[in-house]
Structure formats: C-alpha cells, structure tokens
Structure 1
C-alpha cells in the first residue's frame, strides 16, 4: 500500500487533483522508493509546495506544510449526507475486525473509508496521517466518490488529518478518541460532521449534527452535542 500512501499524499497536499495529472510512476523496490513524473502544469505547484514546507518536531510529520495556507484554500464540502447514528458502533467493530495489526499490537493506527454503496477501504500505519493518505489514495485509484463516504479513525483527529478529509470532500469524520481544537474549527468551516469519543453507545458530536439521523435513538445512545473543556486537545 505504499503506492496508496504516495498518491494519497500528493492529493491531500494539493499537488495533484486526480490521477490524470500523474504521467508515470517508477517503483524502486530495492530502495523502497516511489518516483512520480507529473504533468507540466503541476511543476509550479510542486515548487510552491516545497517553499511552503517547514521543519517540525511534531509526531505526525517531521516536515509539515503550511496549515494556514491549506486552510484558506479549502473548499467547503458541498454534498450533505444522512448518517444514522445507530450504524457507528458497527462501523468501528468492522474496522477492528478487519485490521491486521491494530488490535494485536496496540500501537498501529487503523483508518477506514466507508461508502454508502457498501464499499470499504481499510489501511493501517504507525502514523495516523499516513493511514488517512493510504485510504484516500486507494479510493482515488478505485475511482470511488468521496462525497458519499465516512472516514473512521482509531486515533485522535488532528488539524492535518481534518485538512486531508476536507481536501477529499469527505462529509463525516469519526474517531474513537478526541479531536484537537483546530480540527474542530476546520470541520466547522468545511461543513464536515466531526464525531469524537465514539465508543459503544456514547459519542460527542462537535460540528454539523444536521448530517446525523437521531431517529429512535434517545434511549439507546448518550449523545453530547456540546463541547466540554478538556475533551479537546488545545493544539494542532
């Protein structure tokens, strides 16, 4: 799934808008390297992207792009969905049961993309950001439509992960843990429904609850639609 990772990264960073902008892919198995030859129109994008990168000590990436620049250039998700809250526990169970290393090791992150036509993509990685890039890269290669999808992460949702979801126009993002405060801000601006602490019959809805169907769940779920100090990690 290294190709999924690389393609997903190029897409979520805004370097490409689709697979048609990749002229050639060169894989070097012995050096564990993938090279991409992009179309001529992407060269200026690559140059600008390189100049906007900064060194970081963050756990997600040693080198990160300009989050504020990416945030300003986001397009709001223009497709609304109706997700029944009753389905969420089953989605996480499916994620865990079909992840090879997440449950065995406790140190690998697993991310899934669920589509309303029944298609599911699951990828794992030691880095949460990488797992998101992998599922998005795979979906691009499968020609799946993101506007009818839900992204489920085993780990916390950071601002960079939310930017990736927004870039792909994923309307609903769910995590079993907490989002950061900046991730919540980006979800609100992008029109994405962000759900955290989705554990069993309990969950917190941080943004855009209008995309969640609450019918006949009052006695089955504890749903908190209000932010509480301490549930958000006050960083990126």
Structure 2
C-alpha cells in the first residue's frame, strides 16, 4: 500500500546573499550572508505562529512544527501545504480539524530557542508519557558519527549564523538541515521523518546548538533515544532527558565529549554501538 502524501509545494528559496565588507586592513571583499525570512503558518485559515527561517525547506519545517506541537495528530489528516513567499506564509489545509485547537493554543511558552522559539504548554504537560531507552554506546561510535558529519554544515562554512541538525543511524547521516534557529532545523527533520515514515528508535540526533528543554522535548517526540551536541546543556534540558531516558552527550568536538545522561549505557571499551541501537 502506497504511503499517504499531502499535496505540497516545493518552494525552498536561496539561502545565501552577499554583501561588501572591509577587513582589518581596510580591504574590501565580498562575503556571504545567511538568509532570514519570516514564515507565518496558517492552519485551516487560523494563524498559528511566525517562524524566522532560512527558507530552504519550508514545507518540511511546517510539517515538523505541527507534529512536534501536537497540532495535527496524523499525516493523513493534512490535505495540503502551500508555501507562498510573496506573502511570507504557508497555508495548511486539513481533512480533519482538531476539536480542541483553541484549548491547545491557549497557553504559549516562549523558549530559549533562537529565532523566536515557542512551545505550547500542552506539549510540556505530556512529558510524563514520554519514556525512551538509551542504547549502549561508546567513544568510537561518537567519533564515527562526528567524522560522518564533517562534510556537512555547508551554510555555516560559507556564512556562519546558522545551526545544523542531523539524524544519523550508526555512522550514516540520513538527513541534515541547517537553519537560523536550531528548533527550526529539528522541526524540519521531524517533518522529513513523518513524510517518509522513518522511525527514531534506532537513530541518533546531532545538533550544533545547546541542548535546551525545547530541543530535548522535540527529539523525544521523534522517539530518538540518543542526543549529541557540540555545545552545552541547560539544567532543564538535563532534567527532562533524565526523566525521559534519553542519552545526552555534549561538548563533543574532536576527540572530546561529556556524557551527561546515559552513563550506565556508556561502554569504555572499543566495541561499536551496542545491538540495542542497531536493530
């Protein structure tokens, strides 16, 4: 049976612009700038949120946002996603609207996510239902994932001012997204997973950004049990990861990393990632 796909535009836009700057010697040179555009999501003609984004994959970003905010229950409920940059908006039409949408949207939490991060309070309320099992892992596995990611971060290398996120399986990068906000990048990957029926239970999620409560919650909703970052961890992010059972590795650069949660699953020998993460 063919998987269901909503009708979608394919309106990603150019992510880089250029400008002329002066260097420390007063010499003029052309440099790249990261694009940043507002995109307002409308769900059945109702304004939901405005996101600041690179605009490279707006349809996936929209899908992932709706999924991670629990504003749409099933992919089959979505009829169409239409992005129009002339009005800087995306119109989502559903076959089946949620009856309690007003209630779900009544409380909105401003998060520490860059680029206007928000999360609806009902998502926070549902945390007690999320339970994952951190897989067995070791240093060599972390090194292999980081090595596989070396060829990515395309926009960052040219212009900076972005975060990169990736979904990995063993040492293979399945999906990599860059955006001005790390929460946008994780939402776009969630949308890609939803669209392609990709499960998260045997995957690893990588981000260049810090591991805040919002990032941990989004990754948990994707059912990914191992989280890797080259940046730091917030206290609430750590607490939520502990409660849910997510393994959290941060400050991962070169051969150095710190295991914040999942220490009991961390093997100090040279074997590769345990079978519990590779099935």
Return the TM-score normalized by structure 1. 0.80
Is 1:18 paired with 2:74? yes
8 A contact 1:95–1:110 mirrored in 2: no
Q: Take 2:199 and 2:113, find their aligned partners in 1: how far apart are those partners?
A: 30
| Counterpart residue number, 1:52 | 107
Equivalence for 2:126: 73
Q: Say which of 88, 92, 112 aligns to 2:142.
A: 88
Give the number of the structure whose alpha-carbon radius of gyration is greater.
2
Which one of the candidate residues 118, 126, 133 is aligned to 1:64?
118
Match of 2:227 among 164, 167, 173: 173
Q: Please, what is the CA RMSD of the aligned residues?
A: 2.4
Q: Distance in 2 between matches of 1:7 and 1:133?
A: 8
Cα-to-partner distance string for 1:172-199 (whole Å, 9 max, x where unaligned):
0110110100000010011100111112
Deviation string, structure 1 residues 33-60 (Cα, Å, up to 9, x no partner): 221123435242x322321115x48553
Shift of 1:29: 4.2
Distance of 1:196 and 1:111 partners within structure 2: 14
In the other structure, the counterpart of 2:12 is none
Specify the alignment match of 2:161 in structure 1: 107
Structure 2: 5+ residue stretches without partners: 1-56, 272-279
Q: Secondary structure at the match of 1:197?
A: strand
SS at match of 2:72: coil
Question: Unaligned 5+ residue runs, structure 1?
Answer: 218-236
Scaled by the length of structure 2, the TM-score of the pair is 0.69
Q: Relative to structure 1, is the Cα distance of residues 186 and 213 closer, same or farther in structure 2, using a 3 angstrom cutoff?
A: same
Contact residue 18 and residue 140 of structure 1 kept, 8 A: no
1:171 Cα deviation (Å)?
0.2
Contact between 2:59 and 2:81, CA under 8 Å: does it hold in 1?
Answer: no
Report SS of the residue matched to 1:97.
coil
Corresponding residue of 2:34: none
Instruction: Tell me the number of residue pairs that the alignment of Structure 1 and Structure 2 aligns.
Output: 214
Does the aligned pair in 2 maintain the 1:129–1:161 contact within 8 Å?
A: yes
